[in-house]
Structure 1
Amino acid sequence: MSGSGWFEPSRPIRVEGGIRARSKRGSIGERWWSRRFIDILESICDGGRLGRGRSYARSGQVLDLELGPGRVTARVQGSRSTPYKVKIGITAYDADQWHRLAGALAAQALYRAKLLAGEMPPEIEDVFHGCGLPLFPDQRGLDLDCSCPDWGFPCKHLSAVLYILAESFDDDPFLILAWRGMAKDALLDALRATGGTEDDGDGAAAQPRLFDVADVPFADRLADFYDPGSSHARLRDRTGLPSTSPGLLLRALDPPPITARNIPILDLLRPAYRTLSESDDV
């Protein structure tokens, strides 16, 4: 230890019952949203401290972690007897901003369906950026603080908490949205409430969506149960559909582990999907 007392020894005090990262080697984060978070961190943070933070995360040095709107707090055991206190802050969006976000998400049928099914569509980032509100924080959007004397960005204690946070996103992607200020149940309620109509933005009467069908009790439908709820002409009318990229389906599904001449099958399918989307006969 330095004679000034400002730097702790390299070996932390081992603890029992800490939060231990599942990943034993290599990268941390299994799903696209946690990997996206980690990729951002690794692009803006010191690689050496992140490496030491991974070691802390894998050895269970993070004692606890609590997430709330705009903040994450945790305690990390270093080499000193008193654990260090870690705080990670981002901007939590207010009610008006979340009203805009929920409306934009509900306007995209596929995204809304995936969220209601507990999934996180990759295109959700585009929806956030379209509203001028980033989903993931960059360096300027992160407020990092640790009670240790290391002035590095970030210190290994903060790094450990960031990696544990990424793995918690693996388990529940809605924690990312809760960090931004919207709890899962509140968002799903908002999507259900706004999912049935198109709002023109000026308070005018809402119009039904393309595939909306009235919910009628079964006993009242015995005579016409097998009749279509929407006319064939309405189903053929695609003017009410949201615009989507031709490769949306390819991004929505997990990529198959198939290659042709060492080229991933998705790379071969994308041009075909673009060609099909340009045809007026489809």
Structure 2
Amino acid sequence: MTGFSEFGPPIPVEGGLRASTRRGSIGREWWSRRFIDVLESFADRNRLHRGRAYARQGQVIDLRVRPYEVSARVQGSRPEPYEIAIGVTAIGEEAWRAVEAELASRAVFRARLLAGEMPPEIEWVFAELGVPLFPQSAHDLHLMCDCPDYGDPCKHAAAVLYLLAESFDRDPFLLLAWLGRSRERLLQGLRRLPVEGAPDPFDVGDEPLDVAGFWTPGAGPAALRDRPTAAPGPPDLLLRLLDPPSVKVRRRPLVDVLGPAYEAMPDV
């Protein structure tokens, strides 16, 4: 049945999901392109070509991302749309805690994630911990479609995969949500975990207080100038690291209002 193809053109879908790119590659950001490149490395190119055409014609009726599974409906030439499910292997809670601890150990890296960015280095973190961020082969994707084509993927599942990549373009955290970690839970974990090497503000140490030298003047300005400067970080680093306040200014979160002001601050 691998040679099965639908008879006639697909039934047009009013208001169907349509790929934003009309020609060429699908996927704009590095993580979306990486997902598509991996997919195209092991999937049947003819079915991928037909699936890409379906995605651009708007044949996908709906698409939903949940932990470990993407579900969708795709309209073919038959009256009833096909039901598609695309699963991935579950990442255990212990593995997720290890990923969060590694991500949180780097202040600037953590700040970029808290700002909604997906740095390329995140793939290395997952790989070092033995948790692949992207599928490595066809065995890592569990594709199910109720059409008669037993291709892996069939064109209906391929259309969903291409639109899934474009969804990752708009929200990179959908990729992590598919792997089992919602954006909210991941960011809560990053805010909660300490930065590696950062001093504990409540740890006063075991040294006794030197009362005799308490009033002794500290280092002068000249000594301060001789100290090496710290590595620069983004100007709004504190806004990204701290828990956002509930205050709003004209219905906008306070962090969004203060962000441009922090960006405009000159380096000192």
The TM-score range, normalised by the shorter chain, is: 0.7 to 0.9
* Larger RCO of the pair (alpha carbons < 8 Å, separation 6+): 2
Distance 1:25 1:213, change over 3 A: farther
The answer for the alignment partner of 2:177 in structure 1 is 178
**Secondary structure at 1:159 match in 2:** helix
1:125 and 1:232 mapped to 2: Cα distance? 39
Report the Cα offset of residue 95 of structure 1: 1.9
Local SS of the residue matching 1:87: strand
Contact between 2:107 and 2:195, CA under 8 Å: does it hold in 1?
no
Change (3 A) 1:19 1:117: same
Structure 1 pair 213–116 and aligned structure 2 pair: CA distance change class (3 A): farther
Identify the match of residue 209 of structure 1 among 198, 203, 222: 198
Measured against aligned partners, the alpha-carbon deviations of 1:229-280 in whole angstroms (never above 9, x if no partner) come to xx88996799xxxxxxxxxxxxxxxxxxxxxxxxxxxxxxxxxxxxxxxxxx
Q: Work out the CA distance in 2 between the residues paired with 1:113 and 1:9.
A: 52
**Aligned partner of residue 73 in structure 2, secondary structure:** strand
Report if the CA contact (8 A) 1:92-1:179 is conserved. Answer: no
CA distance in 2, matches of 1:132, 1:35: 22
Q: Indicate the SS of the match to 1:92.
A: coil
Contact 1:86 1:147 in 2 (8 A): yes
Structure 1: gaps (5+ residues): 199-207, 215-226, 239-282
CA distance in 2, matches of 1:233, 1:178: 47
Residue 159 of structure 2 aligns to a residue in which SS? Answer: helix
What does 1:240-251 correspond to in 2, within 5 Å? none
SS at match of 1:12: coil
Structure 1: 4+ residue segments shifted above 3 A: 231-238
**What secondary structure sits across from 1:19 in the alignment?**
coil
TM-score using structure 1 length: 0.69
- Tell me, yes or no, if the aligned pair for 2:86 and 2:143 is still in contact at 8 Å: yes
Of 85, 90, 93 in structure 1, the residue corresponding to residue 91 of structure 2 is 93
Instruction: Note the alpha carbon deviations across 1:96-144, whole angstroms, 9 max, x for none.
Output: 2111110011112232111011000001000001111000112221101
| Per-residue CA distance 1:191-218 (angstroms, 9 max, x = gap) | 0001x343xxxxxxxxx517x879xxxx
Contact 1:13 1:78 (8 Å CA) reproduced: yes
Equivalent position amino acid for 1:80 in 2: R
Runs of 5+ consecutive residues of structure 2 not aligned to the other structure: 203-219, 232-268
2:104/2:195 contact within 8 Å kept: no
AA aligned to 1:191 is: L
Matches within 5 A, 1:232-243: none
Work out whether residues 16 and 59 of structure 2, in 8 Å CA contact, stay in contact via their aligned partners in 1. Answer: yes
Change beyond 3 A, Cα 1:94–1:233: farther
Once the two structures are superposed, the pairs formed by residues 8-47 of structure 1 within 5 Å of their partners are: 8-47=6-45
- Mapped partners of 2:191, 2:90: distance in 1: 22
Determine if the alignment matches structure 1 residue 164 to structure 2 residue 184: no
Matched to 1:41, the amino acid is L
Root-mean-square deviation over aligned CA pairs: 2.6
Deviations along 1:51-107, one digit per CA (max 9) or x if unpaired, are 110110001000001111100000000000000000100012122211111001111
Number of corresponding residues: 209
Amino acid across the alignment from 2:183: K
The answer to whether structure 1 residue 69 and structure 2 residue 58 are counterparts is no
